[in-house]
Structure 1
Amino acid sequence: METTVSAAETRSTRIPDQRRILGATLVGTTIEWYDFFIYAQAAGLIFADQFFKPLGHDGTLAQIVSWATLGISFLFRPLGAAIAGHLGDRYGRKMVLAGTLILMGLATALIGVLPTYAAIGAAAPVLLILLRILQGFSAGGEWGGAALLAVEHAPVRRRGVFGAYPQIGVPLGLAVATTVLLALSALFGQSAYQDWGWRIPFLLSFVLVAVGLVVRSRVAESPVFEEIRHRASESSAPLGVLLKDHSPVVLRAALIFAGNNAAGYMLIAFMGSYAAKTLKLPQTQVYAAVAIGAVIWTAVTLWSGYLSDRFGRINTFLVGYGLLFVTAWPAWILIDKADITLFAFALAILTLGLGLSYGPQPALYAEMFPRRIRYSGLSVSYALGSILGGAFAPMIAQLLLNKTHGTWSIAIYLMIMSAVSAAALLATPRSIERSAL
């Protein structure tokens, strides 16, 4: 006689090692985003001179193009999300996560040995862009799998906290990347670091990926996916079903994320570059300030997962976007004082809104999509939100600065993005919260 195994029974009979699950999602996303962020910071401080210098004597056009390479990779996130989502919904979350980690690490390490424009001419920026595209493809598939691995193992009343663990991998990756860059810049000096020392953080990716693969190999597959596989109810074409039947939900989910991603990449990439290059603050001090901001961002993101379990995902999100809206203008006023203490304080106040509008995302997204297409839904929504939000945010900021000669225009841009995301949240039915997965 056949019996039906429910997700609840699966959880009770296969009680997973929750620390191992959370540790695996945290370690993996931290490594992935370490790789991503060292590129973002190098795009702001290194690549314009090393790969795009012939574009102009004053460096402005070279810097804009360098920021554009940061955004180009986001255009390939939906492709990575579509392929990873299809495979993840068909064959499981765990297998796909190993592949995305390997691809990201390989592309990052190869950037560390890439010759510059002075060595091989125009081939250098072309190869840099190709490797950046591979990073974007990988990042498109990583987040959805890590988020689901955490949330689908979670008790219903702790989905927010569990989902926050892969989220804190993002600011932790930023903190690790910035700390490594700070240490190397201080150890070798600014001249040697900009000449060749910047390659070391990229090469370290080999070691970090090996650690991440070992940790992830020890975790169990998502119990929700195991139930789908047991019932043979996985979709044969999850992406097609997603786009046909759930396009409005995908768009709404993407807009929910866009404001956070725009502000996040402003902090990750543009603000540090602006402080070091335009305001002439010491580069090592800028790195230290960004690292401090990343630590605060980490703590608030984890806290927001708890708050979302207690007060609701949408409510927590709205508070976060409200804070981003009201702090964008004063943060830029503080940054323009060209004082490192005020710069660090500006980043700190921005991370409050960033964390509150980031931690609840995995739980909310998981509750927005049915299980058969959930990996595809999360990944594609996240990738589209990244394009609408962070993909070209640093480049847009640079163009606004060049046009208006003031950072007030960048503040308005961030305020508009926060308002758009808040509107998308208000259009989301609250009945989905804590729904069955």
Structure 2
Amino acid sequence: MTRTAQRDGIGPRSLARVAFASGIGSCLEWYDFFIYGTAAAVVFNVLFFPDLDPAVGTLVAFATFGVGFVARPLGGLFFGHFGDRIGRRGVLVTTLLLVGGATFLIGFLPGYDSIGVAAPVLLVLMRLVQGFGAGAEYSGAVIYAVEHAPPRRRGWFGSWSPMGVSLGTLMASGVFALVSTLPEEQFLSWGWRVPFWLSIVLVAVGLYLRLSLAETPVFEEARERRDVLRMPIKHALVTQPRSFVVVIGARFAENGLGYLFPTWSISYLSSQLGYSRTSALIAVTIATCAQFVMVPVWSILSDRIGRKPVYAGAALFCALFAFPYFLLLHTGSAPLVVFGMAAAVGIGVAGMFGPQAAYFTELFGPRVRYSGFAFARELGSILAGGPAPFLASLLLAWAGGAPWAVAGYMVVLSLITAAAVLWGPETYRSDILAEPAATATVAGAR
């Protein structure tokens, strides 16, 4: 079967199924991660670390949030290997079960008062399982969608997974906003658990969709040619080191600010500026709506003018907006707080997150795409997203509650990303089925 026939044989109904299957896993992953991050900000310090000072308890709770990121590169390396060796579809089913199952079980964990130190230990264990599965979930979902896309619409097809991320974050913030209206005693005893229990619904829908999918045309062609590598990650590291550096650097602002603006800001608004937990969650919900709307806009624009100008432009916007963002939060005006958060997320984060899906897919050749994408992306997560809430809380404490050190941290993250993307190649007109020139000339990397 030729490349054209493979792609032309995919009808509208099949493409719709690809879109939903790609988006649902990302929706679940970020639903899970957002509710964990939110619970770390408002619940876990009380229930799992009650003997600590409240500020220290919050720091430790955010540290457990970062623990999951340690497992993500390992998951990306492990599942990415099999994604390049045996196919994308089976790996996507496995990662969905790991991420969703761990989240569901967190909702049943007893607190410190019930089982002592075993409670935070179990919490960290579940977080590690989450991270191990998530290390290959998003990259696999993106690759699956982009490898089905027509050449001039890869940004648009790739945006389905980022839109799933936005939808998952939106659902999580909405559910937490609802349960946070409960009386404090009920919220701490069972209300916070409800968002974790509801994740099982997304798991069921995702399994139904993914079990009915076929393999991607790109992987099928490689398998027909028997052009599958024994050690794809080794081949990727040897032949495409520049792609690894670009991906890791590009993650600093997108991933770090993606957690600071919507997740860490909940803690900042409620604990430092006196906003109610519900008001902070509503602001995040509105900002996430802006991200959901703008992700496809920026992705489609990257199909027209290229990945680099959109991605780097959004990173530079974040650098310029970091200090004004905190000025808006400190006005005491709820509409200005919502505007600041919506602009930061809808323009800055969405402008990076949207085109990232197609960009990272295009940076790697088809034989090493899953391994390279997943491993490099999750290495960036360790350096960027994992420590971001903890470091921001630490900087805030160091500055005596003033946010300007955190704003400076945001500027540094943004400039690193802009530099990495501008240094990288432009890929939006590349042939996604062809090996990059560098890999075609290197022998002995199998």
Which TM-score band applies after superposition, normalised by the shorter structure? over 0.9
Are residues 1:273 and 2:267 paired? yes
From 374, 394, 397, the counterpart of 1:379: 374
- How big is each residue's C-alpha offset from its partner over 1:54-107, in whole Å with a ceiling of 9 and x where there is no partner? 123xx1111111111111110110000001100100111111111011011111
Matched residue, 1:409: 405
Measure how far apart 1:342 and its partner are. 2.2
Partner of residue 224 from structure 1, selected from 218, 233, 247: 218
Matched residue type, 1:97: L
Equivalent in the alignment of 1:342:
336
Amino acid at match of 1:30: C
Counterpart AA for 1:378: F
Q: Following the alignment from structure 2 to structure 1, what is the Cα–Cα distance between the partners of residues 391 and 333?
A: 24
Report if aligned partners of 2:311, 2:355 keep a CA contact under 8 Å in 1. yes
User: Counterpart of 2:240?
Assistant: 246
1:8 aligns with 2:10: no
Match of 1:52 in 2: 49
Gaps of 5+ in 1: none
CA distance in 2, matches of 1:170, 1:12: 28
For the 8 Å contact 1:281–1:340, the answer to whether it is kept is no
Distance 2:246 2:25 in 1: 27
CA–CA distance in 2 between the matches of 1:13 and 1:231?
20
1:323 aligns with 2:320: no
Alignment correspondent of 2:29: 32
- Is the 2:141–2:161 Cα contact (8 Å) retained in structure 1? yes
Question: 1:379-421: per-residue Cα shift (whole Å, max 9, x none)?
Answer: 0121011112111111111111111121011111111111111
- 1 CA distance for matches of 2:10 and 2:278? 48
CA distance in 2, matches of 1:82, 1:254: 15
Secondary structure of 2:51's match? Answer: helix
Q: 1:14 offset after TM fit, Å?
A: 4.3
Following TM superposition, where does structure 1 have runs of at least 4 consecutive aligned residues deviating by more than 3 angstroms? 13-16
CA distance in 2, matches of 1:429, 1:104: 33
Instruction: Indicate the SS of the match to 1:54.
Output: coil
Q: What are the equivalent positions in structure 2 for 1:39-118 lying under 5 Å apart?
A: 39-56=36-53, 59-118=54-113
Greater shift, 71-80 or 332-341, is seen at 332-341
Residue in 2 that maps onto 1:305: 299
Aligned to 1:123: 118
Q: 2:307·2:355 contact (CA, 8 Å) conserved in 1?
A: yes
Q: Which moved more, 1:315-324 or 1:157-166?
A: 315-324
Which of 413, 419, 425 does residue 423 from structure 1 map onto? 419
Is the CA contact 1:152–1:223 (under 8 Å) kept in the aligned structure 2? yes
Name the structure 1 match of 2:205. Answer: 211
Percent identical residues = 40
Greater Cα offset, 194-203 or 371-380 = 194-203
1:137-190 CA-to-partner distances (Å, cap 9, x unmatched) read: 11101011100111000000000000011011112111000111112222x233
Take 2:116 and 2:422, find their aligned partners in 1: how far apart are those partners?
51
Post-superposition offset of 1:15: 4.2
Q: Is the 8 A contact 2:24 2:202 kept in 1?
A: no
AA at the equivalent of 1:392: P
Instruction: Name the residue aligned to 1:21.
Output: 18
Matched, 1:398 2:393: yes
Give the distance between the partners of 1:386 and 1:98, measured in 2 at CA.
22
**Contact 1:31–1:173, Cα closer than 8 Å, also in 2:** yes
1:195 Cα deviation after fit: 2.7
1:356 is matched with which residue?
351
Q: Who is 2:440 aligned against?
A: none
CA RMSD of aligned residues (A): 1.3
Return closer, same or farther for 1:119/1:236 CA change in 2, 3 Å cut-off: same
Residues 250, 381 of structure 1: 8 Å contact kept: yes
> Structure 1 residue 134: deviation in Å?
0.7
- Structure 2 distance, partners of 1:71, 1:267, is 16
Instruction: Give the match for residue 256 of structure 1.
Output: 250
- TM-score, normalization by structure 1: 0.96
- 1:321-354 CA deviation, whole Å, 9 max, x = no partner? 1211111110111112333322211111101111
- Give, in whole Å, the separation in 2 of the partners of 1:8 and 1:377: 26
How many angstroms apart in 1 are the aligned matches of 2:112 and 2:177? 25
**Aligned partner (choices 152, 155, 169) of residue 160 of structure 1:** 155
For this pair of structures, how many residues does the alignment match? Answer: 429
Q: Structure 2 vs 1, CA of residues 257 and 333 (structure 1 numbering), >3 Å: closer, same or farther?
A: same
Measure, in 2, the Cα distance between the counterparts of 1:214 and 1:13: 22
Distance in 2 separating the partners of 1:18 and 1:66: 41
Q: Using the alignment, how far apart are the partners of 1:429 and 1:307 within structure 2?
A: 17
Q: CA deviation at 1:429?
A: 2.1
